[in-house]
A and B are shown apart, each in its own frame.
Chain A
Amino acid sequence: MVPIADAEARFTRLSESGIVGVVVGNLQGRVVEINDTALGLLGYTREEVLSPEFVWFNLTPPEWRAADTRAVEQLSKSGVGALREKEYIRKDGSRVPVLVGSAMVGGEVPLALSFVLDLTERKQAQAAVERLRESRATEARFRALLDTAPDAMVIVDQSGTIALVNGQTEALFGYTRSELVGQAIELLIPERFRAAHPAHRQSYFRDHHVRPMGADLELHGRRKDGSEFPIEVSLSPLETESGLLVSSAIRDITERKKAEQQRASLASLVESSDDAIIGTSLEGIVTSWNEGAHRLFGYSADEILGRPISLIVPPERELEFAATLRSVAAGQVQRVETVRRRKDGSLVDVSLTVSPVRDTAGRVVSIAKVARDVTERRRTERELARAKETAEAASRELEAFSYSVAHDLRAPLRGMNGFAQVLLDEYKDKFDAEGQDWLNEILLNANRMAALIDALLSLSRVTRSELHRESVDLSNLARLVLSSLKAADPDREVVVNVQEQLTVDADSTLARALLDNLLGNAWKFSGRVSAAQISFGANEGDGERVFYVRDNGAGFDMGYAQKLFAPFQRLHQNHEFAGTGIGLATVQRIVHRHGGRIWAEGATGEGATFYFTLPAERQGAR
């Protein structure tokens, strides 16, 4: 047993230590003793507590009273009350959490001794733990929420340090979460913009509200690999316990920029087009109208957007217009030449292409029209028709002229020639030698003029006659021409060389006339050399075949090469080599009509070579 005095001394020490509140009172609620710790806990003075009016039980809040009553009963029966947590109401009305344990102490008047432990700090610690647990859950939820956002979300604190990022941020910038959190937000900005950024950031913290960042500015993000991409950023403030944060939603707008650029370039194409480019709904309401349409139809975009396109359809074309709309709505592209009405009521010839515009699912959702003013083209067509008519009239006149030449000019010649001949035949003895010579001169000149007229006629026939192309063996033709030359002049010794199998796509009559003339010339102009040689052949080169007719005869001065092919141009006097001066002009026309070229090489006394081409295609034919 501990002596009473010792026990009392220990109790007093405990009671005065300030660790625990001690209260002694009877079971009716009258307090007889209380220590300073308990007074401090409750906010009352000792006098107040010890006064006979003070009822201890009134310190217990109503919800604890029932439990209190049970504890007092237990205490009076067993002498010990179990430890329990409860609250007291302080003098100032606030509550204080406490742990209370009681026991009956002996004496003639039974008293209860209660220890009261202040639980305020422990409760606060518990609440803190609870709050921490809760805030962790919130953060996890928040992070999960961030990850569902379509944009990269980066949360930054006032110092510009990244506090939180979502998965999209990792994907977009190529960093992992751990590489970003704790770093300055400037990591994600191209270097050239980094210096200026903290100032912007700070000004946002001073005046924060939800808004897009850098409106009207081109913003760029920088990936881990240093590459840049255009972004759009929207900022919103985030008030938290640890202070103001800023959440930025960052969107990669590369595709959108590309699409915008495409749209812009398409739009400028449409706008700069000379053609009218018009968009309408399926019902024919104008939805777009370019500058070309303004110029062509007189309506400005403002005047006609939202109005029916039928404004520009003349009444007599309404049925046609409706039919076009129907077939385009059914998915067909329509091309029509038609007439439209301008704002001023005048009509304009247009060529119109109307196409369906489809959505991604292939449904026709609207209609695109391209209209071109063909007034000018129509005018040109009319002019062309007139020109053709004029040309045909000229051609008819030429025909009449040819006829006249053939018929009328020859008749007087025949008279001159005929009567001169009759004089020579019937009245020869009436003329001396000189007179007869002069009569012969009349004959000669009349014959020569007849030859000229014939040559002129054949030249005009070459120009006028239609070209009938067929396969022509020029080698055969050349041999034929040469043998008839030989037959007409059997005394000539000429070495002839004709290359075999030169077949060409040409008009056979004209090809014959061509070789008649060229080989005839070669024959004629080699007439005065002792060992005459004539060759016909072809060289291949540059994808074309070049034919040639060569002789070793009189040749010509290259200075006159250009004059060779002009009608009536002769490089030899008639007494040297007879001729009309029409042959080479005829040859040139034949070659040109076949779309070919002709040229000549030669030197005086050293022969001549005539080159020509006869392309197979009809492209050169007229």
Chain B
Amino acid sequence: MIKQILLVEDNASDEKLTLIALKKCEVQNQVIVVRDGAEALDYLFATGAHAERAHLPALILLDLKLPKVSGIEVLRRIRTDERTRALPVVILTSSKLDEDVADGYTSGASAYVRKPVAYAEFLAAAKAIGSFWLLLNELPAEVNR
């Protein structure tokens, strides 16, 4: 079983740190990185540059503030499409504004995690996310087919 992670992140530093953290936490899953909302949608719905992609990811790590299409909009599209509505989506962002948290959950986020500045905490967060959503949590059958 190939459980892929889709990381939607426009900040190159954050991307690198996330990848280092996931690796450090011994999350072995393949991580696919897309760098804006539009690309994320292409990947998920196998359109445009990603028309050839084989699988839907098992977990989406979604930043909110993204170029082209916002994280919230991406989330809404995921939740309104038959193919993707059951996917676990963890919002991973810098903001902890009450409005953003509320928006995230009403748009169908599975979880909302604020990226900690302190790297040690960041590591702990990455580890917790990986172990919960990829190991502990049971996914619906259609994912990863």
Q: Which of A407, A408, A420, A446 has the most CB of B within 10 A?
A: A407
A450 engages B13 (CB within 8 Å): no
Contact with B along A409-422 (1 / 0, CB 8 A): 01111110111111
Taking the closest CB of chain A, its distance from the CB of B20, in whole angstroms, is 6
Query: Which residue of the partner chain, among B11, B95, B119, contacts A422 with CB atoms under 8 Å?
Result: B119
CA–CA, A410 and B95, complex, Å: 9
A418 engages B94 (CB within 8 Å): no
A residues less than 8 Å from B97 (CB atoms): 402-403, 406
Q: Which of A411, A420, A447 has the most CB of B within 10 A?
A: A411
A406 engages B96 (CB within 8 Å): yes
B residues less than 8 Å from A447 (CB atoms): 117-118
A410 engages B120 (CB within 8 Å): no
Q: How large is the interface on B (under 10, 10 to 19, 20 to 34, 35 or more residues)?
A: 20 to 34
A403 engages B95 (CB within 8 Å): yes
Query: Which residue of the partner chain, among A407, A418, A446, contacts B93 with CB atoms under 8 Å?
Result: A407
A residues less than 8 Å from B119 (CB atoms): 414, 417-418, 420-422, 443
B120 engages A414 (CB within 8 Å): no
CA–CA, A573 and B9, complex, Å: 39
CA–CA, A446 and B100, complex, Å: 24
A414 engages B13 (CB within 8 Å): yes
Which of A441-463 touch B at CB < 8 Å?
Answer: 443, 446-447, 450
Query: Which residue of the partner chain, among A412, A414, A421, A443, contacts B115 with CB atoms under 8 Å?
Result: A414
Q: Which of B65, B116, B119 has the most CB of A within 10 A?
A: B119
Decide yes or no: A412 and B96 within 8 Å by CB, A418-B122, A421-B120, A447-B117 being known contacts: no
B residues less than 8 Å from A403 (CB atoms): 95, 97, 100
B13 engages A415 (CB within 8 Å): yes
CA–CA, A392 and B115, complex, Å: 31
Closest residue of chain A to B12, judged by CB? A415
State whether the Cβ of B124 lies closer than 8 Å to any Cβ in chain A. no
Decide yes or no: A414 and B122 within 8 Å by CB, A419-B13, A447-B117 being known contacts: yes
Chain A binding surface SS class: helix
Chain B binding surface SS class: loop
Contact with A along B104-123 (1 / 0, CB 8 A): 00000000000111111010
Which of B60-97 touch A at CB < 8 Å?
Answer: 64-65, 93-97
Taking the closest CB of chain B, its distance from the CB of A418, in whole angstroms, is 4
A residues less than 8 Å from B116 (CB atoms): 414
Closest residue of chain B to A446, judged by CB? B117
Decide yes or no: A415 and B17 within 8 Å by CB, A446-B117, A447-B118, A450-B117 being known contacts: yes
Closest residue of chain B to A412, judged by CB? B13
A407 engages B65 (CB within 8 Å): yes
Taking the closest CB of chain B, its distance from the CB of A363, in whole angstroms, is 65
B94 engages A411 (CB within 8 Å): yes
Closest residue of chain B to A465, judged by CB? B98
Taking the closest CB of chain A, its distance from the CB of B97, in whole angstroms, is 6
B120 engages A415 (CB within 8 Å): no
B20 engages A415 (CB within 8 Å): no
Closest residue of chain A to B96, judged by CB? A406
Q: Which of A412, A413, A414, A420 has the most CB of B within 10 A?
A: A414
B117 engages A414 (CB within 8 Å): yes
B residues less than 8 Å from A417 (CB atoms): 117-119
A residues less than 8 Å from B115 (CB atoms): 410-411, 414
Contact with B along A151-163 (1 / 0, CB 8 A): 0000000000000
B residues less than 8 Å from A443 (CB atoms): 118-119
CA–CA, A450 and B65, complex, Å: 19
A-B contact pairs, 28 of them (CB 8 A): A403-B100, A406-B96, A407-B65, A407-B93, A407-B94, A408-B94, A410-B94, A410-B117, A411-B11, A411-B14, A411-B115, A414-B13, A414-B115, A414-B116, A414-B119, A414-B122, A415-B11, A417-B117, A417-B119, A418-B13, A418-B20, A418-B119, A418-B122, A421-B118, A421-B120, A447-B117, A447-B118, A450-B117
Q: Please list the residues of chain B having a beta carbon within 8 angstroms of any beta carbon in chain A.
A: 11, 13-14, 17, 20, 64-65, 93-97, 100, 115-120, 122
